[in-house]
Every structure is written in structure tokens, then in C-alpha cells.
Structure 1
Amino acid sequence: MPFDHPTAGRGPGDAGVHDLRHHGDAEASDGLVDFAVNVIGDGPPPWLRDRIAATLDGLGRYPRAEHDAHARGTVATRHGRAPDEVLPLAGSAEGFALLPALRPRLAAVVHPGFTEPEAVLRAAGVPVARVLTDPADGHALDPRAVPAEADLVVVGNPTNPTGVLHPADDVRALARPGRVLLVDEAFADAVPGEPESLAGDAGTEGLLVFRSLTKTWALAGLRAGYALGAPELLARLAAPRPPWPVSTPALEAIVACCEPEALSAGDQKARELSAHRVSMAAALAGIEGVAVQPSHAPFLLLHLPDGTGHGVRQRLREAGIAIRRGDTFPGLGPDHVRVAVRPPELARRLVDELDAALRALVVPA
């Protein structure tokens, strides 16, 4: 697992050849079947919609301290933490935007991974070392590859877009005195039982965990999530926030999604999604020339035959299907694509159209 250390020839704002601010929503145009975005479903279930809607009559008032406290307390109970170890967020993206407040001297970001943390850090002038996982090793995490001098390390678990679920002990091994270890667990609740989550780990020094409610509960438009960490670390992270950063509806969503009934329903959704992923991965792997990265997440990373990536994405769009390009992720190339796991009837359409696109593009030798 090599790393790309900042050099004098690369400015802190240089993202290299990768468009770090490109995300799947840019490809999910109206009218297309959406395999580009990892949100599960078109919107929240009726019970959650009703909980959120019930807050609307109170929108004439600013979010109240008791709402924030209720959200912190519910999340704390959900993860076995203390309330002051919880920071409600307007989605994980807000947490990433706050990272420069930690004043890191060198940030190490494990790639391929979600690109927004690196984009934020570079924009703030923070030097970034890219730690690239090895596809030959299944993109496994090697803690020894992270530069010792990094005082901020960012890793996803499961990692987007590879879907790799790193053992908790390997992730925990990245922690050390004087370092903040940020684990992005945006997709952790898509893994039945959340076996490798560090969300309940209050004993690891410098550990910061971000959780999102966007994916499982289809709340991308609401922006709701939270951070977990030591109170003093959360205070440093939150220092530049404006007043009332999380809306009343988002605070209610945080509470609703962390209550026992929701946790049970979410785990059932995770089990259904896992079954869909297994069948979808097998069908995609049956297409000649397509390599499927094993995944524990609600998406699959595909490696297409050399030179076909752009043409496949174009042909699929013409067929009414959006998929996520992979070449904006450091460590991947133009023939990588990411596809969201969908129910069998939609997955079958993707498989058929992808097979047809490749047959049209790949000329037999």
C-alpha cells in the first residue's frame, strides 16, 4: 500500500488529475434509472416521513437546545456513549467541511475512498498524503503504509467505492498519541450487525467517527448525521460552526432513526440489501470481461475491459441508466465504474444493458 507524499512541486490545492468534487448525483439525471447514487429508495418510509412532517409547524422557531440535547441523548444510548461524546451534524458532509478546524499539519487520506475530505483539506491549504490501497490485495488496509508524521488520518469503513470492510483492529491500529483518526462510517449501517464499527469505542485516543442517515433512510435532501468522539475533540471540530447548524426536522430524524424500532428495521433492510448484492454481483460477474470487487456496502465496484469505460457509460445513459464513473477516485482509472445495489428487477435491466453495451464495444480478436 504505497502513499503519495506531498512534494514541493504540488500545491496544497492541487487535486492532480482527479475531480475530487465530483459525486454520483451529478450523473443521476431526471428520467434515468439511478445506479449512480447510493441512497436506498426514493424517500423515507411513511413512519419517518410522518415524524419529520410533525416538526413543520414549529419551523417559525429556531432549533431549541432541548431538541439538540434529545438528539445527543438518543444517539448516545444507541452507541453506548455519553451525550457529550455526540455532535449532531447537517450530514457527514458538514463534518468533513469542519476538518480544517482541527489544524492538521499533514493529513493522510486512504484511497480509493470518498473524495470530499481531501477536497476540503486541500482547499484549506492542508498538505495531504494519499495512501493507496492495492487492488491485488483486495484493497485491504495496511496501517503501516500511513506516514508516521500524519496527525490526521481519514479512512472509510466500509470504504466508498470499493465496498471493503476493514477489520476494526486494523483501523484502530492507525490511532496514536497526537493524531486524530477519522473513520467515515457512512455505510456502516448497511452491514448487518455492524460488526467492524468503532462507533461505540470511547477508549481509542483521538478517534472520531462520522455517521450518516442519508443512505439507509433516503434522507439525502434533509442532511442529517452525527459525529462521535471525545468531548474536547468534538469541541475543536465544532468551533467554527454558526448558531443552529442542524435544523429541527434533521434533529427529529436523528432521534427517530436511532430509536430501537428503527434500528431493528434498519438491520432488516441491511439483510435484504446484502441478499440483493450477492445476486447482483454474481449476475454482473457473469458478463464477459467484467471484474466485480467483493463488497460489504450498498454498491459494487466494477472493472470493465480496457478502454470501454467511457463508451459503456455513454451507451447506458442512452439506454436510460446512470452509473457512477470511477476515475474521479484516486487509485482508480477510466474503466472503473460504481453501481448501486438495487432490487433484482432493476439489477436485471442493468446486467442486460451492460452486457449489450460491451458486446457492441468489444470487438472479438
Structure 2
Amino acid sequence: MLEDSVDPAMLRHHGDVEARPGMLDFAVNVQGLAPPDWLRDRLAARLADLGRYPSSDDEHAARVAVAARHGRSPDEVLLLAGAAEGFALLPRLAPRLAAVVHPSFTEPELALREANIPVVRVILERPYTLDPALVPEDADLVVLGNPTNPTSILHPAETIRALRRPGRIVVIDEAFADAVAGRRVDAITSGASSAGHVVFGEPESLAGFSAPDVLVFRSLTKTWALAGLRCGYALGAPDVLARLAHGRPHWPLGTLQFEAIIATAEPAAVAESQRYAERIAADRTAMIDRLTALGLDVHTPATGPFLLLRVPDGALLRKHLADRGVAVRRADTFPGLGPDHLRVAVRGAAEVDRLIDALKTALW
């Protein structure tokens, strides 16, 4: 365990500032430049409704859809303007001591610190294996990511459940869980692909685990290319969700956000997201091979749509890549990592060709 100095600007840093218009973007983990056509059509069909306030019927339908998607009850669903809103709401749980497991997404720590809540960093050393014994026993709020940004580590659900203690709430950021491929079995159900296969994905997810002390945040941003729409949700006990939601403004989400949540929770969309996850897994394997062939240190195993690299002179390499029109994400803003760490999104072969060419020019 190591307590680093705290720089709010570093905690607030995100990959979108690395990618200037026109650059090849390996800095942001959003898949694609825009939502798929069918989802855009669903959203466009609701444009005529924007003259009316968001309806309670849409809000209820969205909660029902999410609940059905995860095998929960609707009162265990809180709709959010992106998972980031959920992190901003964490101080309403009024913990005495929050433990944030790092390296990981920094918004939860920032939100807690800005609310003057005591925070202890639990920094995992490589290979970033989660050990519940590292978390202080008196921490009554524990926050971690799974799979974790930026290490691409997937912690076992059993290990996460071992963090539970009386009086403690465990918060899991599952923003990338729908990008983790699962296993295929021969079957046909509603929403299955025409090949007659159903994909059971999201291994190690606790989204379907109903417990009074476990809170899961999910995001639609990455898989569905909806970063500009801001939609996600929290899954947890109704009383915990009520504490999070206390004092929120009226109409915290809009009509298009409700529609996106409903659409992406449907069985056909869930099956499609798992096909995306399978493609990401194949692209990730190929990308690891190509990066390691250059002599780069790529952290594995990796399960998310991004990879953590450790390179010599990381800041200089990042500048060389930017000069060649390629954006990668600095990773020294994640507690526990340093200037020689970089994060790169998993991309397809054509994009990786350009990354490899730029790396070769920069390295040699």
C-alpha cells in the first residue's frame, strides 16, 4: 500500500484531451466514431419528442429493461447520466473512510476528495492482483474497477466478494464489462445471432449479484459510442440507490438517454455487444503480438478493450507519436503508474498498422 501525493489535475485528466481532431485515436476507449445505424435510428425517432419533458413512463421502461437484462428488480436500478455521475454521487453515502483500489479510473477518488471524505489509496503492484487484505478494515467504502482501467485486469468475482465486511459498501466500476468476451454455446434464444449461437459474456461481473452492500456502475459510452449522450446506470439495493439519488435535480436524464438505455438492454443488443467483445478479444490478441514483436512491454493477461504499455522515455515517445498524428493515453495520471506507462485502445488491423509504423519511426 502506498499513499502518493494528490494532484487534482492529474485525477481529472482523461484520454479525450490527448486526441486532437484528425489524429488516429488510441487514447480513448470508445469503440467506433458513432453508434450503429439501428441505434441512431432509434434515437432519431425520438427527436420529435424533445419538445416535451422526459416522461416517467420512459424512465420506468428503462429501469425495467435494465433490470431484465441483469436479472434484477426495477427498484434495484438507478439510471445515470453516465457512470461518471454515479461517482459524483458517491459522497452522498457519507463514508467515514473510502479505500480506492489503484491503478484505476480516477474520477471516484476525485469526487470523494472534493467532498472532503478521507481517502486511502490501495495501490496494487504489478501484476495488479487484488488482495482483499490490503484494504484497511475500517474502510466503509471500497471502490475498484473490473475490468480495471488502465491495467486491463479482470479480478475474480469471488475475490471482489471477499472485500465485503459488515457496515461496508463495495463499489465496482464495470464500465467495460460488456467488452469482455465470454463463452459460446449452441443454442437459440431471442436476440441470438442467425448462426444459432448465444454468447454468455461478461465473466466475473457482479451486475446480477443482488446484495445490500454491493453497488455496480455500468456505462453505455464505450461499446455503443455514446460518449456524447452520457448514459449509464447503477445496480444495488434500493435503500443505497435512494441515498445516492437524494437531492438530484428533477429530470436528471433526458428522453434520448432513456431510449438509448432501453435499446441497448434488449436481448438482440446484448448479443451484438458480445459479438463486439469477441472481435475486441481477437484484435487484442493480434495487437499484443505485434507490440511485443517490437520489444515493447505489454501487460498481460489483458481482458479489456485497452492495453497498458511500459516503454522507455514514455513522455518523449508519446510526443513523437503525436507528431506523427497518433494519440495514445498517458498513464502516469493513474496512481501507482509512472511516466513510462502508456495506455492504448484496442483497434483493428488497419489502425494498428499505422500505430506500428509510427512506433517504428519513433523508436528507431
Distance in 2, Cα, partners of 1:52 & 1:165: 32
Superposition TM-score, scaled by structure 1 size: 0.92
The amino acid of 1:57's aligned partner reads A
CA shift for structure 1 position 60: 1.1
Match of 1:35 in 2: 26
Q: Find the residue that maps to 1:296 and give its secondary structure.
A: coil
Choose the corresponding residue for 1:244, options 247, 251, 259.
Answer: 251
5+ residue gaps in structure 1?
6-13, 360-365
Runs of 4+ deviating beyond 4 Å: none
Equivalent in 149, 171, 186 of residue 175 of structure 2:
186
Provide the secondary structure at the position in 2 that maps to 1:4. coil
SS in 2 for 1:129: strand
Match of 1:114 in 2: 105
CA distance 1:106–1:279, shift in 2 (3 Å): same
Task: Report the counterpart of residue 190 of structure 2 in structure 1.
Answer: none
| 1:18 Cα deviation from its structure 2 partner | 6.9
Task: Give the deviation of 1:351 after TM superposition.
Answer: 1.6
- Output the CA distance in 2 between the equivalents of 1:19 and 1:248: 34
Which secondary structure state, in structure 1, belongs to the residue aligned with residue 13 of structure 2?
coil
Aligned to 2:71: 80
Distance 1:280 1:255 in 2: 33
Confirm whether residue 357 of structure 1 aligns to residue 346 of structure 2: no
Q: Residues 303 and 337 of structure 1 are in contact (CA less than 8 Å); yes or no, is this contact kept in structure 2? A: yes
The one-character-per-residue Cα deviations of 1:125-164 (angstroms, maximum 9, x if unpaired) are 01110001111xx111001100011111000000000000
**SS of equivalent residue, structure 1 residue 256:** helix
What is the 5 A alignment of 1:219-238? 219-238=226-245
Cα distance, 1:102 vs. partner?
Answer: 0.6
Aligned CA distance change for structure 1 residues 48 and 200 (closer, same or farther; 3 Å): same
1:150 matched to 2:157: no
Listed one character per residue, the Cα deviations across residues 221-267 of structure 1 (whole Å, up to 9, x for unaligned) are 00010000000000000002100001110010000000001011111
- Counterpart of 1:10? none
The answer to whether the Cα contact below 8 Å between 2:212 and 2:236 also exists between their aligned partners in 1 is no
Between the two proteins, the alignment pairs up a number of residues equal to: 345
Instruction: Give percent identity, aligned residues only.
Output: 58
Q: Superposed, which structure 2 residues align to 1:1-365 within 5 Å?
A: 2-4=1-3, 15-16=6-7, 19-135=10-126, 138-192=127-181, 193-202=201-210, 204-305=211-312, 308-359=313-364
Question: Aligned equivalents of 2:135 and 2:280: distance in 1?
Answer: 32
8 Å CA contact retained: 2:232, 2:261? yes
Per-residue CA deviations over 1:172-191 (Å, capped at 9, x if unaligned) read 11112211110000000001
Deviation by residue 1:290-318 (Cα, 9 ceiling, x = unmatched) = 3434310000000002xx11110111011
Shift of 1:53: 1.1
Give the unaligned 5+ runs of structure 2.
182-200
Measure the CA separation in 2 of the matches of 1:289 and 1:229: 41
The code of the aligned residue for 2:336 comes to: G
AA paired with 1:201? F
Q: SS of the residue aligned with 2:172?
A: strand
Which amino acid in structure 2 is aligned with residue 329 of structure 1?
Answer: F
Amino acid paired to 1:175:
R
> Residue 202 of structure 2 aligns to which amino acid in structure 1?
E
- Does the CA contact (< 8 Å) of 1:304 and 1:335 recur in 2? yes
TM-score under structure 2 length normalisation: 0.93
Tell me whether 349-358 or 268-277 shows the greater mean CA deviation: 349-358
Contact 1:177–1:205 (CA under 8 A) maintained in structure 2 = no
CA RMSD between the two structures: 1.2
